[in-house]
Amino acid sequence: MDFTQTHYLPSSLSDHTPLLIQFSSSPRPLVRFQFYDMWIKHKDFSHLLACIPSLHATLPKMQHLKIYLNKLRPMLMKLNRHHFADLRAQPDAARLELTTLQSKLAEDSIFHSYSSKIKYGDDNTRLFHARARQRKLSSYIYSLADDGGNYVEGFDQVKHIMIAFYKNLLGKAADSRKNVDLQVIHHGPTLSPEDQMGLCKAFTNKDIKDALHSIPSFKSPGPDGYSSGFFKAIWEKTSIMIKEDMKRTSSPQRLLEWRMGKPYKVAQGYKWQLQLQDKAPWAGFIWSRANIPSYAFISWVFIQGRLPTKVRLAKFHPQQAVGCLLCSAAEEDNVHLIFTCTFASKAWEALRDWWKGIPLGINRTQMLRMIKHTKEPKLRKQITGAIMVAAIYNIWRARNHAMFKNHIMPVAQIIKGIKE
């Protein structure tokens, strides 16, 4: 089926309007299998179901059902091709049957009182099909404006613009999710523990049958082409496979596997139930057994960006001065105090001369990258981590000493404390 696009060009000095007519090939949809309920009424339908041999009993029910449907699909297509695809012969047969029925109705006097109200449909002519084809083509979108207001033509170009628009409309996946505030949930009605456990119960055979038979047969089929009407028609033959498949896919273990995207384990299920987040990549680096607990705690607060520096405290007390106590050259924020301050830079440089595992010109981003991607041996990695954690603690300790005792400790004293 071809698509015709007409452009009206400027007439200029002429009294005629030139037309530009383009004949573009319209996209042809892929031929996919789709089950039709009319096949159920054919006399050979039940025979087709019985023709498929029984499979090995040891196969899983899900695999058994998949093989069964795959073998049945070409047989149904053959049934459609031999008995339902002869569209030219069927209207003639239907017309003959209609004529016969009309002849019988004509003999009935009651029919004459209602004959004026009957409206016959269009004939199966070439004009009728041409109008139907024209109506279908009128729904095609051949040209469309992009985000910049520029019009593009062609079905492929329009497809790309539509996909890009809806991708941008839906947005991207969030990198992180906030935990649910349980205090907010408890303010409203909640389920009792018994009700919560009831939601996790496996479906019974009656639940599965009632759910399937409640779906209207005219609903759209699934990706495999089989509709709910098909499964209702062959329920007696495939009910065991369908029930086992539903029980397997809807089990709490399977739902957790789908939620977490990996094989289910009890520990993972417990963590998911408590809404615990995955461990941060730097957790083992900070909370290593080689680190002194107080040193590790201060380093953890620093990684979280919550050291009570002057810049952070000024958010709560705006009148407070924010100058660095150790160098007086910049504002005392989290990163400046530990890395870019003159005092801190000298301390890191002295530590690097003593232990080569510390990178040159270290900063917060470089430290986190080193923690995540380092390939050093485990013992050397622990030693490097212990030195860096001790450095963060002692720089913070020197800052507090300057603030509360009005005295700046020498860098050599800091290095000596770290080495000890």
CA–CA–CA angle 29, 34, 35 (5° rounding): 165
What is residue 367's predicted lDDT score, i.e. its pLDDT? Answer: 73
Give the residue from 275, 419, 303, 311 showing the smallest Cα distance to 365. 303
Distance CA 2, CA 93 (A): 32
- In SS3 terms, 211-276 reads as HHHCCCCCCCCCCCCCCHHHHHHCHHHHHHHHHHHHHHHCCHHHHHHHHHCCCCCHHHHHHHHCCC
**H/E element, 20:** strand 19-25
Give the model's pLDDT for residue 121. Answer: 47
The whole-number mean pLDDT for each consecutive block of 10 residues of the chain, a chain of 420 residues, reads 73 82 71 83 84 67 78 88 73 79 66 47 63 73 82 83 84 66 77 81 82 86 84 81 71 56 63 62 79 88 86 79 86 86 87 78 68 74 84 90 88 82
Q: What is the pLDDT of residue 322?
A: 85
Q: Domain extents for the chain? A: 1-29+122-170, 283-419
Interatomic CA distance for residues 165 and 142, integer angstroms: 16
| 3-state SS class at 169 | helix
CB contact set of 327 (below 8 Å; sequence gap of 6+): 341, 342, 343
- In one-letter notation, the amino acid at residue 374 is T
Using DSSP's 3-state secondary structure scheme, residue 332 falls into coil
Q: Look at residue 143 in the predicted model and tell me its pLDDT.
A: 82
Q: How far is CA 209 from CA 95, 120, 228, 251, 323, in A?
A: 41, 42, 11, 17, 73
Find, among 129, 121, 118, 119, the residue nearest to 88 by Cα. 129
Nearest-10 Cα torsion for 143, 145, 149, 150: -40
Report the C-alpha gap between 247 and 204 in whole angstroms. Answer: 8
Retrieve residue 368's tokens.
């986190």
- The pTM of this model reads 0.39
The predicted structure's pLDDT at residue 412: 87
In angstroms, how far apart are the furthest CA atoms of the chain?
Answer: 120
> Do residues 4 and 21 touch, judged by C-beta distance below 8 A?
yes
